[in-house]
Structure 1
């Protein structure tokens, strides 16, 4: 089974579409969030891809970034882009990085690519890997819906705001805010109690 949810087979297309530099969609919102974190915070970027523009925004803000992505092609480029940042090529739900603690975790453009049960597992694992007071930021539609991913054609699933909020609370997290960026991506920003 392809743990990259079709992205390894479409890595070239994804890289061409996503690599827009620091002004890429989502980067301004991620920069703003990064500024709310402690200096030199350690951040896990799950579904990091090649790291441009999300990991780049974090690194540019002086944060220590770890990455996880299941696409070997994208992990290889991430390593070239960020040689000082540890990165693992593995399915997020099986990542060994969840055996350590982070000051913050981000999942930009990933959650809805995972099956519903996997999203639930990943939210709990992210919560468990956050230090007390640690922050979580992820994107997923506020509407409960299914659609086919624009790049892979594979079904994407948003559990909807009510379900995500319930999962956050059940995992010991408190929702700080929800907002949308210039690309109409919906964000959930939570903190570990």
Structure 2
């Protein structure tokens, strides 16, 4: 694994990730998606293989857009969600398809990025949402760090207060926090209407 690996080690473990990924949390994403306009555009940042989040959203009729920096992950995403638009690129430098969305999800992604990169991604999500659009992302509510079990790289949660400040600075407001059956926390933020 080299330092120029845009996927931060995820391309090398794509098959293991796909084998271990469960549908835990898809019920939260499904509930969240019911607050979006029918057939609206949703961006999945760090879309991975598309299972279960992308397939869940596509089955609800959303126009899905996915980005992931791991070539193997994005290839699987294209296979699993063929109707989606996909790009192989890191969240930190993605142009988010040069458009706006009704919803943005980042499940299992932000805490994999260094703190500055997390802040940069959240800052860019605000302008990428239509007024009233929603942003759902997962991260522990506590401020903490740990070693990722698949890549061996550091992960960082900025905690509820840290994410709240970043969300507010991006022109969003927190609408709630949810916990799935696996104990994972999800933050739901709404783009402030002008």
Give, in angstroms, the shift of residue 61 of structure 1: 1.2
Q: What is residue 74 of structure 1 aligned with on the other side?
A: 73
- What are the Cα deviations for residues 16-43 of structure 1, in whole angstroms up to 9, with x where unaligned? 111x4xxx11111111111111100100
TM score, norm. by length of structure 1: 0.95
Structure 2: gaps (5+ residues): none
Question: Runs in 1 of length 4+ with deviation above 3 angstroms?
Answer: none
CA RMSD in angstroms, aligned pairs only: 0.9
1:162-192, Cα deviation, whole Å (9 max, x unpaired): 0100111111101000110111111110100
Equivalent-residue separation in structure 1 for 2:181 and 2:35 (angstroms)? 20
User: Which residue matches 1:2?
Assistant: 5
* TM-score normalized by the length of structure 2: 0.95
Deviation for aligned residue 1:99: 2.4
Where in structure 2 are the equivalents of 1:52-131 lying within 5 Å? Answer: 52-97=51-96, 99-131=98-130
Question: Partner of 2:92: helix, strand, or coil?
Answer: helix
- In structure 2, the residue matched to 1:150 is 149
How far apart are 1:98 and its partner, in Å? 5.4
Deviations 1:104-123 (A, max 9, x none): 00000000000100000000
Q: Which runs of 5+ in 1 are unaligned?
A: none
- Corresponding position of 1:171: 170
Count of aligned pairs between the two proteins: 189
Q: Map 1:32-71 to 2 at 5 A.
A: 32-71=31-70
8 Å Cα contact 2:46-2:69 kept in structure 1: yes
